[in-house]
Structure 1
Amino acid sequence: MSKLRRVLPALALLSATGLILTGCESTSESDSQAGGEGGKLTVCANSPYPPFEFERDGEVVGFDMALADEIAKDQGKEKEFIQANFETLESGAALDTGQCEMVISGMGITDERKASMDFSKPYFNDEIGLLTTKDSGITGFDSIGDTSVGAQQATSGEKFAQEKGATVQQFEDVELMFQSLETGGVKAVSGNISTLGNRAEENENLEIVETVDTGENLGVAVKKGNTQLLDSVNQTLDRLNEDGTMDKMREEWIGL
């Protein structure tokens, strides 16, 4: 056998091996883009933020977590919850650094946030509300005056209160915000009606004195350009809306 005929089969084998390896790498990358490696789908949220995410019996549950379970199920994966600071969520940093593959944390879809991440179709429309004690004398955003208003940092509730000219005291999470309201640290708090309404039902001394429909829609966020995962999320949202599961989830977790 000539030297040339001995070399050609070896080159062919190397070429075929390279194609196989390339195919494996492409499949692995595709799987990662679709929603994580192996059987896990990592989901970031900032808890507590009832009724969207909060701890019960040692497990983080809520509307967002139920939604994440459905998305993971459709992908044949298991949801893995990752606690994160809300600022890293709304800035897109948690996605860009690979801390998680999805953000589902009661986060409104805004043009500013869309510049840093991609959003799914809306899954919930949430109004802004003002929660205060029944004896505060506050009747709405226009009657706040010089009173400090509590709000979770980097949220729509904070932004709206600032736009109304209120002096805002920031809180890292809503539980600290509610505790401050109940102990007199702040006289009122601004936030999404779903969360404020949940607290008002738990405490008879609190009441929502104003709600404002800002047209805020909540969405699932993924890393910019991850169209495969985004398409998968939207397909799940379509299914949940079509088969009635979304209505059941809203009733169970939000009471709507």
Structure 2
Amino acid sequence: MKKLISLLLMSMLIIGVLAACGSGEESSSQGDNNDADAKVLKMATSGDYAPFEYIDTAKGDDIIGLDIDIAKAITEELGYELEIQDMDFGGLISALQSGQADFVMAAMSATDERKESVDFSDTYYTSKHVIVSKKDSGIKSADDLKDKKVGAQLGSIQEEKAKELAESTGYSYESRNRIPELIQEILAGRLDAAIIEDTVAKGYLEETKDLVGVTIEDADGGYAIAFPKGSELREAFNAELRKMIENGEVDQIIKKWFDAE
């Protein structure tokens, strides 16, 4: 009888150990799944627009800039990992609508036309336009663009301004996907001028002494973060953005990148 009882106790002990091991493995497996399911937000941008978003090849291959710093600060505060996708500016809104991206930060103006397709955060920056041309072009105002060939970045607020001025001033208009393309077209003589955002134009004017710039009126609408229609992220981002504006963090980031330029 004692041997039987001992065998029964031994069997119960073995079963308990096996059950504990099985439970531990299951917990470990669940933990791994939770790590794999970390919250990631995909941000779409156009990395050719210094100091807002660009690649400094001397420092690496990552996209850096004013917009990137603001996006990182907000997503980190909200507990998300940030994944940045680079694409042409003209495809950014489509990327939101197709679900390729959760939000867009790309020095994008919150125009009435764009608001029909996407939702925007509060404004974090307001810019001006600059007409960039060669020094010997004789272009000193928008009126001097008459009969010229003028370019702007596809899908940008400057493209809208270029189209608007083309109707009132009388010049032919062409678009390009990237800002460097516009600069090369001017230097090669295929474009007489291009309309570019002022802080972006500043960098090219400082680097290329053959170019000059003329500032024209303020842009219609400031830069804001774009979201798919009805996105729940908008309010969460807005709350963090307002904190950053109120405590001066946005101003510090703007100063950092403008001084860097």
The TM-score with structure 2 as length reference comes to 0.79
Partner of 2:245: 241
Partner of 1:79: 82
**Residue by residue, what CA displacement relative to the aligned partner does 1:45-66 show, whole Å, maximum 9, x if unpaired?**
1121111111122110111111
Report SS of the residue matched to 1:122. strand
Give the percent of matched residue pairs that are identical in Structure 1 and Structure 2: 29
**Residue by residue, what CA displacement relative to the aligned partner does 1:28-77 show, whole Å, maximum 9, x if unpaired?**
xxxxxxxxx62321100112111111112211011111111111111112
The TM-score with structure 1 as length reference comes to 0.80
Match of 1:66 among 60, 64, 69: 69
Partner of 1:141: 142
Query: What displacement does 1:147 show?
Result: 1.2
- What are structure 1's unaligned runs of at least 5 residues? 1-36
Work out the number of aligned pairs and report it: 217
- 1:12-161 alignment, distance < 5 Å: 38-56=38-56, 57-89=60-92, 92-161=93-162
- What are structure 2's unaligned runs of at least 5 residues? 1-36
Q: Distance in 2 between matches of 1:175 and 1:185?
A: 14
Report SS of the residue matched to 1:120. strand
**Residue by residue, what CA displacement relative to the aligned partner does 1:207-240 show, whole Å, maximum 9, x if unpaired?**
21232113431110111001x3011111121121
Report SS of the residue matched to 2:44. strand
Match of 1:250 among 245, 248, 254: 254
- Kept in 2, the 8 Å contact 1:48–1:174? The answer is yes
Provide the aligned C-alpha RMSD in A. 1.6
Q: Which has the larger radius of gyration?
A: 2
Report SS of the residue matched to 2:190. coil
Partner of 1:15: none
- Kept in 2, the 8 Å contact 1:141–1:161? The answer is no
Report SS of the residue matched to 2:73. helix
The structure whose residues are more often helix, as a share, is 2
- Kept in 2, the 8 Å contact 1:150–1:177? The answer is yes
Once structures 1 and 2 are overlaid, which stretch shifts more, 171-180 or 101-110?
A: 171-180
